[in-house]
Amino acid sequence: MKFARLVWANLWRRKGRTVLTLLSVAVAMFLFATLRSVLTTLAASEQVGSESRLVTRSAIGITFPLPEAYAGRLAATDGVSAVSWANWFGGIYINSQNFFAQFAVDADTYFPMYPEVRMPPEQLAAFMQERTAVVAGKGLMERFGWQLGQTITLQGTIFPGDWDFTIRAVYVPDNPSFGDENFFFHYDYLLERTGRFVTPGWFILRLGDPSQAAAVSARIDEQFKNSRAPTKTETERAFQAGFVTMWGNVAFLVRAIGTAVFFAILLVAANTMMMAARERVHEVAVMKTLGFGDGLLSALVLVEAVLITGVGGLLGIAGARLLFGATRALSSILPGFAVAWSTVAFGIAIAIGLGLASGAVPAWQAARLSVVQALRRVA
Amino acid sequence: MKIPLIYNLRSLRARPVSTLTTAFGMALVVGVFVAMMALSNGFRAALVSTGSPDNVMVLRKGADAEMSSGLSRDAANIIGGMPFVARGTDGRPLASPETFVVISYQRLGGGLANLVVRGVSPRALEVRKGVRIVEGRLFAPGSNEVIVGATMARRFANTGIGETLSFGGRDWTVVGRFTAEGSAFESEIWGENEQLMPVFRGQVFQSVTFRMQDPSAFDGIKPTLESDPRLYVDAHRERDFYENQSLFLGTILKFIAVFIAGVMAVGAVFGAINTMYAAVASRGPEIGVLLTLGFKPRHVLTSFVTEAILIAVLGGALGCLFTLPINGLLTSTTNWNSFSELAFAFRVTPGLLLQGLVFAAVMGVIGGFLPARRAARLPVTEALRQA
């Protein structure tokens, strides 16, 4: 590229301006990467639920428990190969700002149901042997600086009183969207402490044949339809997706903001390119006189614009990826929050598009510039 | 003497394209900021206005939400009989023992939503001043009648007066529609506590809300209730209780607003700096003339900063205009304390618009300062010789 030097020299003609434009593109693309990652993370968390597992909960509402006796009847239902259950505990650790999810689970059946929850077998064995033992996520351990073997006290809200737990196992999820800030303890402990005043919050079922999900769900709900506790059964994925939609129309919000950011930065970049072009009217006229073609001159302007926005975009997106990779800034609210490669690619494409769009007007002007008039014009 | 403002205005008009693009950039930043804050404020306002400062809400000790609370009938009676509970014209206590359940219900347009069904005492409308029946009437005691909140009624089927809702294994006739000053109650269904209690959880209330005879006496009432050996309760001022519920999501929303607007502002400020540097660069001779005429460098500085502020405020005003149509727009999210859907309206208030303008002005000052300083420091001779 024999013109590379020309483009390079033009870029640095006004250092301040080039750097500022580059930086504003960088912050905008940082924001873009963050926002899009919220969407991709939410979409991924809808996927965390398996299609081969069903969740059966009360049809009345998510907060209504189901009778424990359902476990047997569910297990006996055609197409169901395993049954487990869990309960939401909702305890407070020191104060309510330290929110994390706590589940009372039927330990014998729960962990076999979730092969994606990985922990050392000896830790799992230790957990199984102790009634007040807890399996905590790695992220949770780091968040509060907990150690294996430490005793944690939670203040119950649904189940009053102070509850002591001992951390016996630490898990790492295979799938980051599963979240590494969960806290699992024995359902039996809950049962015992509350004087058997508790029943399962929901059941998790494994399907023999995942393609039968709809039929099995219907069969289960039909079975309990006229009982005192009717059920609502759906795939785990659908169940999770239901929670995601509870946040409201996040996708719309993110897109609206993203569009506003894009146009705000487009204006900044376009303004810069137009300023640069205005300064160089004379020069372009001279170059035309020397025999530079219209197309080439346009291309030079475009290349310059794309270089600024491309490098800026790369900086912003790489910055976001590194920042969110190194810190756990958003992962308490959104488990598994990460900047996906698709976001990186998409962001770079946008940055290049931004460059082309911002350079379009000056490039067009350069091409149709009338040499005589430009040279005559007094700057 | 200061450089007259008209000079700046004329300068802006001389470069309409770059003025407008810069202002537009600022407008988008301010627009996003105001819109996000309107969302956050609307959410907070809906929850905070739900509670009245004159009311006390009693929950079981340790329960941080109505859903996790439980109070016996005896406890409710004891609380109602306390001397600091306001009395109605008939001399009976203005207290409403309430049941609270969240049910799954089909939303208009598909999907299940979690709805609050609140069983209230027939006196609830006296206890809660903001609640008004706008159509139909209150449920009759002892009947399977319910009233529906105004925003809830717009989002779910079969909520017209005379229509039937079925939940909890029974059918309920809608006899009235109520508003509650835009608060969270408008997203709820209300029926009589005695009717709803047996349907869901058995002989237990979730909370007792009563009006205080003397609202300033709360600091004395709280310990009286909490130390009463017959009770095992926490007492909250109703307003504080709902304000607490808004903390989690409200803080997240506010953080998002500030984070996004902050990052965008950096970009917009860079844009402003660019524009102003270009303005300064192309106006060397002009600045030289100004200095020759006897204007001091600091006047030039103020003048150029003012020009930047003018651009920014123009943009800010534009951004505020963009956001006006969203005022009152209804949206919904989940109140994570009860897992129930909460509908609320964006709130664009004059105070918020002012904040947006101030935000723009600050961006203008930051964006204009460096270029203005360069202008002020230009040596006269050099400036005049330029071009």
pLDDT in tens, A190-234: 999 888 788 899 999 998 888 888 899 999 999 888 888 889 898
CB–CB contact B112 A260 (8 Å): no
β B145-149/B170-179 pair status = parallel
CB–CB contact B333 A246 (8 Å): yes
For residue B168, the chain A residue with the least C-alpha distance is A60
Considering only the beta carbons, identify the residue of B24, B104, B260 that sits closest to A61: B104
With H, G, I as helix, E, B as strand and everything else as coil, classify residue A270: helix
For residue A63, give every residue at least 6 positions away whose Cβ sits within 8 Å of its Cβ, in sequence order, or none: B67, B101, B102, B339
Question: Which residues in chain A have their CB less than 8 angstroms from residue B35's CB?
Answer: 256
Token reading at B310: 């003018």
Question: Which residues in chain B have their CB less than 8 angstroms from residue A253's CB?
Answer: 39
pLDDT in tens, B245-273: 888 788 888 888 888 888 888 888 888 88
In Å, how far is B92's CA from the nearest CA of chain A? 32
Backbone angles phi, psi at A48, to 5 degrees: -60, -35
Considering only the beta carbons, identify the residue of A96, A161, A263 that sits closest to B28: A263
Token reading at B220: 């004395």
CB–CB contact B18 A155 (8 Å): no
Q: Which of B195, B199, B231, B273 is nearest to B22 (CA)?
A: B273
Q: Which of A379, A369, A284, A364 is nearest to A6 (CA)?
A: A284
CB–CB contact B36 A272 (8 Å): no
Token reading at B152: 């809830």
How many CA atoms within 13 Å lie on the side-chain side of A38?
19
Question: Would you tell me which residues 166-225 of chain A have a C-beta closer than 8 angstroms to some C-beta of chain B?
Answer: none
With H, G, I as helix, E, B as strand and everything else as coil, classify residue A170: strand
Q: Which of B115, B150, B341 is nearest to B249 (CA)?
A: B341
In Å, how far is A24's CA from the nearest CA of chain B? 4
CB–CB contact A157 B334 (8 Å): no
Report how far Cα B324 is from the mean position of its chain's Cα atoms.
Answer: 15
Question: Which residues in chain B have their CB less than 8 angstroms from residue A162's CB?
Answer: none
What is the Cα–Cα distance from B335 to B245, expressed in whole angstroms? 8
CB–CB contact B266 A27 (8 Å): yes
Considering only the beta carbons, identify the residue of A61, A64, A272 that sits closest to B274: A272
β A133-137/A161-173 pair status = parallel
CB–CB contact A333 B68 (8 Å): no
CB–CB contact A246 B248 (8 Å): no
Let me know: does B167 contact A64? Beta carbons within 8 Å.
Answer: no
CB–CB contact B21 A271 (8 Å): yes
What is the Cα–Cα distance from A250 to A41, expressed in whole angstroms? 12
Token reading at A239: 């169940």
- For residue A148, the 8-state DSSP code is T
Please tell me the predicted confidence (pLDDT) of residue A377: 64
Please tell me the predicted confidence (pLDDT) of residue A379: 47
In Å, how far is B64's CA from the nearest CA of chain A? 6
A270 touches chain B (CB under 8 A): yes
CB–CB contact A249 B331 (8 Å): yes
Q: Which of B26, B9, B5, B29 is nearest to B312 (CA)?
A: B26
Higher pLDDT residue, B76 or B18? B76
CB–CB contact A28 B278 (8 Å): no
Question: Which residues in chain B have their CB less than 8 angstroms from residue A62's CB?
Answer: 102, 104, 114, 339
Question: Which residues in chain B have their CB less than 8 angstroms from residue A16's CB?
Answer: 273, 277
In Å, how far is A191's CA from the nearest CA of chain B? 17
Interface test with A, best of B28, B102, B373 (most A CBs within 10 A): B28
Question: Which residues in chain B have their CB less than 8 angstroms from residue A263's CB?
Answer: 24, 28
Token reading at B55: 């009311």
- For residue A181, the 8-state DSSP code is -
Question: Which residues in chain A have their CB less than 8 angstroms from residue B17's CB?
Answer: 274
What is the Cα–Cα distance from A274 to A270, expressed in whole angstroms? 6
Q: Which of B319, B250, B282 is nearest to B47 (CA)?
A: B250
What is the Cα–Cα distance from A102 to B245, expressed in whole angstroms? 20
Size of interface A-B (CB pairs under 8 A): 146
Higher pLDDT residue, B364 or B107? B364
For residue A288, give every residue at least 6 positions away whose Cβ sits within 8 Å of its Cβ, in sequence order, or none: A294, A297, A369, A371
CB–CB contact A20 B275 (8 Å): no
Considering only the beta carbons, identify the residue of B36, B64, B277 that sits closest to A17: B277
How many CA atoms within 13 Å lie on the side-chain side of A190?
28
Per-residue pLDDT of chain A (379 residues; tens, 9 = 90+): 678 888 888 888 878 888 888 888 898 888 888 888 888 888 877 776 777 889 999 888 777 889 989 999 999 988 899 999 999 998 889 887 788 889 999 989 999 999 889 999 999 999 999 999 999 999 899 889 999 999 999 998 888 889 999 999 999 988 877 888 899 999 999 999 888 788 899 999 998 888 888 899 999 999 888 888 889 898 888 888 777 777 777 788 888 888 888 888 888 888 878 888 877 888 888 888 888 888 888 888 899 899 999 999 999 999 988 888 777 666 666 777 888 888 899 999 999 998 998 888 888 888 888 888 777 765 4
Backbone angles phi, psi at B233, to 5 degrees: -135, 165
For residue A157, the chain B residue with the least C-alpha distance is B63
CB–CB contact B267 A24 (8 Å): yes
Task: Tell me how crowded residue A139 is: count the other CB atoms within 10 A of its CB.
Answer: 22
Please tell me the predicted confidence (pLDDT) of residue B54: 92
Burial class of A94 by CB neighbour count within 10 A (0 to 12, 13 to 18, 19+): exposed
Question: Would you tell me which residues 106-165 of chain A have a C-beta closer than 8 angstroms to some C-beta of chain B?
Answer: 155-158, 160-161
What is the Cα–Cα distance from A357 to A25, expressed in whole angstroms? 13
For residue A172, give every residue at least 6 positions away whose Cβ sits within 8 Å of its Cβ, in sequence order, or none: A118, A119, A137, A138, A180
Question: Which residues in chain B have their CB less than 8 angstroms from residue A28's CB?
Answer: 263-264, 267
CB–CB contact A63 B112 (8 Å): no
Backbone angles phi, psi at A116, to 5 degrees: -75, -10
Please tell me the predicted confidence (pLDDT) of residue B246: 85
In Å, how far is B247's CA from the nearest CA of chain A? 9
Amino acid at B90: D
For residue B337, the chain A residue with the least C-alpha distance is A90
With H, G, I as helix, E, B as strand and everything else as coil, classify residue B119: strand
Q: For a pLDDT cut of 90, what percent of chain B falls above it?
A: 39
Cα separations in angstroms, B54 against A283, B33, B216, B361: 75, 34, 8, 40
Question: Would you tell me which residues 57-116 of chain A have a C-beta closer than 8 angstroms to some C-beta of chain B?
Answer: 59-64, 90, 92, 96, 99
Interface test with B, best of A197, A240, A246, A324 (most B CBs within 10 A): A246
In Å, how far is B266's CA from the nearest CA of chain A? 7
For residue B259, the chain A residue with the least C-alpha distance is A31
CB–CB contact B267 A17 (8 Å): no
SS3 content of chain A, % helix, strand, coil (to 5): 55, 15, 30
Token reading at B226: 């909490």
Whether the model pTM is above 0.90: no
What is the Cα–Cα distance from B36 to A226, expressed in whole angstroms? 46
Mean pLDDT computed over B140-152:
92
Burial class of B289 by CB neighbour count within 10 A (0 to 12, 13 to 18, 19+): middle
Question: Would you tell me which residues 2-21 of chain A have a C-beta closer than 8 angstroms to some C-beta of chain B?
Answer: 14, 16-17, 20-21
Token reading at A252: 């719309």
CB–CB contact B111 A267 (8 Å): no
Considering only the beta carbons, identify the residue of B64, B101, B111 that sits closest to A157: B64
Question: Which residues in chain A have their CB less than 8 angstroms from residue B268's CB?
Answer: 24, 264, 268
Report how far Cα B137 is from the mean position of its chain's Cα atoms.
Answer: 30
Compute chain A's Rg from CA coordinates: 30
A356 touches chain B (CB under 8 A): no
DSSP E strands, A40-131: 53-58, 80-88, 101-105, 117-118
Q: What is the mean pLDDT of chain B?
A: 88
- pLDDT band for B199, please (50, 70, 90 cuts): confident
CB–CB contact A23 B270 (8 Å): yes
pLDDT in tens, A77-133: 888 999 999 999 988 898 877 888 899 999 899 999 998 899 999 999 999 999 999
CB–CB contact B339 A62 (8 Å): yes
Q: Which of A154, A97, A191, A161 is nearest to B62 (CA)?
A: A161
β A101-105/A151-156 pair status = unpaired
